Structures are given as structure tokens and as C-alpha cells.
Structure 1
């Protein structure tokens, strides 16, 4: 029974680790976009056909709005990353505890024989 619990804990731990990696990747992309200058953003937008009919002032306003939105996304991602880290730590502690219990049960089983 406990072996199954350990396998379940390990499977959940792997899933949480994948989620943590995905969150880190998203955060990295958002941070890169935040570092992008207005000139680079205009160039990128016009390269895709966007912002072609906009004035520089309109581009600057959209750029500022995007940055506010990116910062908010980044804060949410950081909070989710922190929750994920906490969950991963709890899973690791649960796995160690389950392994100790399993080892103690195995040791006590050997003593009885």
C-alpha cells in the first residue's frame, strides 16, 4: 500500500516539477518582452504588419499598456511559481516521510521473522 503512495507522490512530484519549469519558461519570456525597447517593439510590430497605421504616440501608448499587462502577468506567474515551489517542497518531505515509514515497516517485519 505504502509503495503505491510513494509512486503517487513521485508522479505528482514530477508533474509539479514540469509545471515549475513551464512557469519559469513563461516568466523568462515575459521578462524578455519587458526589456524590449519601444523602438524594438515598433520594429517587431511593423514586421508582422501590426501598428503600420499608428502614430508614434499611439505606438507608445500601446507599448505602455502592454508593459503594464506584462508586469501584472509576471507578478501572477511569480506568485504561482512560489506556490509551486511550496507544493514541491511539501511533496519531497512527504516522499521522504513515506520512505522512512516503509523502511521502518520493512525493518520491523524482518525482526518478527
Structure 2
């Protein structure tokens, strides 16, 4: 990527912003699921046709396993969001630098005339 390729930087910035929004959405959804009580989870599962034949103890075991998996997913998503935020910050700096370079080039071009 060239230092003054503002269009390329802006396109990449938009892509990273879309990715960050998707990550935030996933984080929000997983956080909501993690806060779900056992009774809420049983109700949701049975509404969907799952867990109908299971005892409350079996449901509790599955719920604990799901929560452990969700915690792991949340940690991974948070790490990815942190990386994406860092990349977005770097792109914004690159865009600002490219704009300064362009402005300096335009100013020096006017002075030569």
C-alpha cells in the first residue's frame, strides 16, 4: 500500500469497520447467551424441540458445558476485536498521513508555478 493511496486505505478502513461491527454483534449475542439462566435455556431449548427428553440435571450439565464454550468464544472474539480495533487505528493514521502528504505535494506544486 502506497503512503498516498487514500482510496485503498479508505476501502480497507471500511472493510475493517464492517468486520468490527460483525464482531461487536457476535460479542453481544454471545454475552446475552452467557447471561441466560438455566430455566431460560431450558425454555428456549424446549421451544425449539431440543432437550425435551432430558432431565433437569442433564439440562444443567449441558448448560454448564455451553457456558464454558461461550466463555471461550467470548475470549477469542474479544481478542479478535482488540486486533481489529488496532488495525483500524493504524489505518486511520495511515489515511491522515496520506492526506498530509497529498496536501504537501499539492502545496509544493502550486509554489512551483
Settle same-fold status: TM greater than 0.5. yes
Look up the match of 1:77. 77
**Distance apart, 1:26 and its partner CA:** 0.3
Look up the match of 2:19. 19
Deviation string 1:36-59 (CA, Å, 9 cap, x unpaired) is 000000011011110011111110
Aligned pair count reads: 112
Look up the match of 1:10. 10
SS for the counterpart of 1:103 is: helix
What is the root-mean-square deviation in Å for CA atoms of aligned residues?
1.3
Unaligned runs of 5+ in 2: none
Distance 1:34 1:88 in 2: 28
TM-score computed with the length of structure 1 as normaliser: 0.96
Matched, 1:55 2:41: no
Distance 1:62 1:55 in 2: 11
Look up the match of 2:100. 100
Look up the match of 1:44. 44
SS for the counterpart of 2:93 is: helix
TM-score computed with the length of structure 2 as normaliser: 0.96
Distance 2:83 2:14 in 1: 15
